[in-house]
């Protein structure tokens, strides 16, 4: 039977990791996979995470099953982190999931349970796994224009035009902040215009919030999501704790379904717990407990926020330095967008040939669409990258 399986194309980003490891060159630079790294190339465990784990080790007395939909303390803390004072527990269903990916998958399953004719509108480009999951599920994907290849900003008029074609029963997938892979984001005024279009069409937004705290700050990065939540009666939010808590391998995420009345919330909550039961039964406990421990303890929370701010500030400084270096080398401001973009990624706008040349000649690894992981850089490697970008003719 298993011999009937068709070979799967390897995930391009994960394949790049293997290629990078196999490269014997000393000065190679990994700007591929989306993991935060400090200046030494290490992905550290955050201080508050270590402390929370220490407390858990001291205090936990059982490993028996916990909640099928997750623990209320985690759901509540995540709801508040994302929605702030706008959280309405009586109409918000919440589910602990296997990372942000699990939240996206369960959101799509939930939407399809509610509407078997589901279509999903996604930005062009988007995180490739969005499209891959939808294709695997057999959910039709409609792309909306998003990235302006000339300015490397958001092609907002085109985006508005394209998402206006969504109808009630469709889902429009939006990146809450730090758009992956482009780094180009909506302004708050633009979020308000998107909300108006969603109001008019009746389509349901699904907000993928994988980088809260990596862009302009914890509150700022949630502002678009909060605006949508304040205006649209039904909103799905798929949040990941992988990046902002640095707990990638613990697989921690959360799906929120904001409903317009308590009866619908109960329906959604039941369906979401059912989806966990059908897929993997109980969600992972450890990472969710770490997150809840941090968010519900003033001291740990302050320390976590301080460290997250260091991480965010470090990435902004790298952006500034790279943009400055390129301004000097290019003698123009055409790479200024690198300092405007937010989050871990920027789409450089290089051709596949230029990306290949940077890899072959300079040992610089980025995703084929010229997505750079800014956190893969440090003060010493920025000049090397800048020179490669210019010499490759970008
Ligand atoms: N959404 C986006 C846009 C992402 O970049 C990622 C991680 N690469 C995820 C969701 C999923 O994150 P997780 O590792 O928590 O499943």
- Indicate whether residue 210 lines ligand 1 (CB < 6 A): yes
Hey, which bits of the chain come out as E strands? 29-30, 92-98, 120-124, 141-145, 171-175, 204-209, 235-240, 252-258, 345-347, 364-365, 371-373
Cis amide leading into 101 (omega within 30): no
Q: Which residues are catalytic?
A: 127, 208, 210, 243
The response to whether residue 343 sits with its C-beta less than 6 Å from ligand 1 reads no
| 224 close to ligand 1 (CB < 6 Angstrom) | no
CA of 98 to the centre of ligand 1 (A): 11
Q: With a 6 A CB cut-off, is 69 part of the ligand 1 pocket?
A: no
Q: What is the pLDDT of residue 393?
A: 94
Residue 214, pLDDT score: 98
Atom of ligand 1 nearest to the CA of 179: 3
Q: Is the CB of 123 under 6 A from ligand 1?
A: no
Ligand 1 centroid to residue 361 C-alpha, Å: 31
Show pLDDT as tens, one digit a residue, over the chain (394 residues). Answer: 999 999 998 888 888 989 999 999 999 999 998 899 999 999 999 999 999 999 999 999 999 999 999 999 999 999 999 999 999 999 999 999 999 999 999 999 999 999 999 999 999 999 999 999 999 999 999 999 999 999 999 999 999 999 999 999 999 999 999 999 999 999 999 999 999 999 999 999 999 999 999 999 999 999 999 999 999 999 999 999 999 999 999 999 999 999 999 999 999 999 999 999 999 999 999 999 999 999 999 999 999 999 999 999 999 999 999 999 999 999 999 999 999 999 999 999 999 999 999 999 999 999 999 999 999 999 999 999 999 999 999 9
Predicted ipTM of the assembly: 0.99
Ligand 1 pocket mutation pick from 43, 97, 100, 280 by most atoms within 8 angstroms of CB: 100
pLDDT computed for residue 69 by the predictor:
98
State if residue 253 touches ligand 1 by the CB under 6 angstroms criterion.
yes
Cα of 17 from ligand 1 centre, angstroms:
17
Contact present, 372 and 382 (Cβ < 8 Å) = no
Residue with tokens 């937010």: 342
Give the CB-side neighbour count of residue 247, counting CA atoms within 13 A.
26
Task: For ligand 1, pick from 35, 129, 290 the residue to mutate: most ligand atoms within 8 Å of CB.
Answer: 129
User: What is the gyration radius of the CA atoms in the chain, in angstroms?
Assistant: 21
- For ligand 1, atom 1, name the residue with the nearest CA: 210
- For the Cβ of 388 lying below 6 angstroms from any atom of ligand 1, the answer is no
- 68 C-alpha to ligand 1 centroid (Å): 22
Q: Domains along the chain? A: 11-45+301-391 (3.90.1150.10), 65-296 (3.40.640.10)
- 315-346 in b/e form (b: 16+ CB < 10 A) is bbebbebbbbbbbeeeeeeebebbbebbbbbb
């Amino acid at each position: 039977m298993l011999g009937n399986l068709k070979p799967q194309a390897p995930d391009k980003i994960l394949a790049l990791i293997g290629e990078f490891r196999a490269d014997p060159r000393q000065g190679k630079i990994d700007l591929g996979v989306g993991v935060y790294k400090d200046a030494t190339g290490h992905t550290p465990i955050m201080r508050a995470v270590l402390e929370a784990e220490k407390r858990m080790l001291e205090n936990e007395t059982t490993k028996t099953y916990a909640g099928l939909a997750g623990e209320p303390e985690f759901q509540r803390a995540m709801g508040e982190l994302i929605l702030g004072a706008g959280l309405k527990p009586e109409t918000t269903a919440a589910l602990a999931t296997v990372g942000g990916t699990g939240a996206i998958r369960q959101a799509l399953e939930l939407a399809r349970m509610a509407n078997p004719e589901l279509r999903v509108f996604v930005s062009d480009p988007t995180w490739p796994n969005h499209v891959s999951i939808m294709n695997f599920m057999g959910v039709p994907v409609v792309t909306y224009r998003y990235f302006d290849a000339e300015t490397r900003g958001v092609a907002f008029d085109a985006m508005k035009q394209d998402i206006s074609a969504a109808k009630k029963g469709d889902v429009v997938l939006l990146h809450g902040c730090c758009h992956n892979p482009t780094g180009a984001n909506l302004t708050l005024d633009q979020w308000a215009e998107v909300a108006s279009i969603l109001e008019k069409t009746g389509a349901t937004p699904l907000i993928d919030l994988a980088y809260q705290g990596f862009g302009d700050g914890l509150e700022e990065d949630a502002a678009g999501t909060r605006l949508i939540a304040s205006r649209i009666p039904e909103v799905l939010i798929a949040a990941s704790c992988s990046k902002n808590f640095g707990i990638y391998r613990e697989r921690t995420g959360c799906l929120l379904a904001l409903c317009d009345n308590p009866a619908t919330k109960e329906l959604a909550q039941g369906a979401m717990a059912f989806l966990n039961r059908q897929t993997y039964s109980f969600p992972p406990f450890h990472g969710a407990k770490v997150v809840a421990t941090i968010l519900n303890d003033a001291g740990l929370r302050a320390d976590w926020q301080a460290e997250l701010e260091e991480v965010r500030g470090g990435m902004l400084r790298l952006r500034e330095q790279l943009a400055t270096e390129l301004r000097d080398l290019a003698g123009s401001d055409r790479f200024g967008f690198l300092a405007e973009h937010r989050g871990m990624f920027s789409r450089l706008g290089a051709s596949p040939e230029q990306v290949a040349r940077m890899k072959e000649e300079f040992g610089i690894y980025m995703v084929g669409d010229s997505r750079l992981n800014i956190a893969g850089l440090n003060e010493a490697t920025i000049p090397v990258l800048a020179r490669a970008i210019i010499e490759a003719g970008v």
